[in-house]
Amino acid sequence: MAQYFAKIENNVVVKVAVVERDFLEANPERYTGTWVEMFIDQKMGHGGIGSLYDSAENVFYCPQPYPSWTLDSNHEWQPPTPFPADGSPSNPYMWSEKELAWVAI
């Protein structure tokens, strides 16, 4: 059964492959470097190209969306100001890095 693997370079996913583990291991000339198996339904999430990989926690996460946002213990980026409670499709907000605040749009 095919599995999902991510090729990691400098903690960044640079390729994704859906192959049998035996095939990956039998073709080292084609699958060079560090390949990490992804388990889509588990805590580690999944790594798309450009995603980051924390090998100590064995988890994939998104790149930092804005310089002011910080990574929490769940590997989710948090803004310096929480999203407004009244935000909804009829009352949308967007992040302003210049103002370091949510701005109504």
For the segment 78-88, what is each residue's pLDDT rounded down to a tens digit?
A: 999 999 998 88
Which residues 6+ apart lie within 8 Å of 36 measured at CB? 5, 6, 8, 47, 53, 55, 58
Domain shared by 20 and 43, yes or no:
yes
Domain shared by 94 and 56, yes or no:
no
Query: Is 4:38 a contact under the CB 8 Å cutoff?
Result: yes
Domain shared by 48 and 78, yes or no:
no
Check pLDDT > 70 for residue 1.
yes
pLDDT grade for 47, boundaries at 50, 70 and 90:
confident
Domain shared by 58 and 73, yes or no:
no
**Domain range enclosing 51:** 1-63
Domain shared by 73 and 94, yes or no:
yes
Per the structure, the count of domains in the chain is 2
- Average pLDDT estimate for 16-36: 92
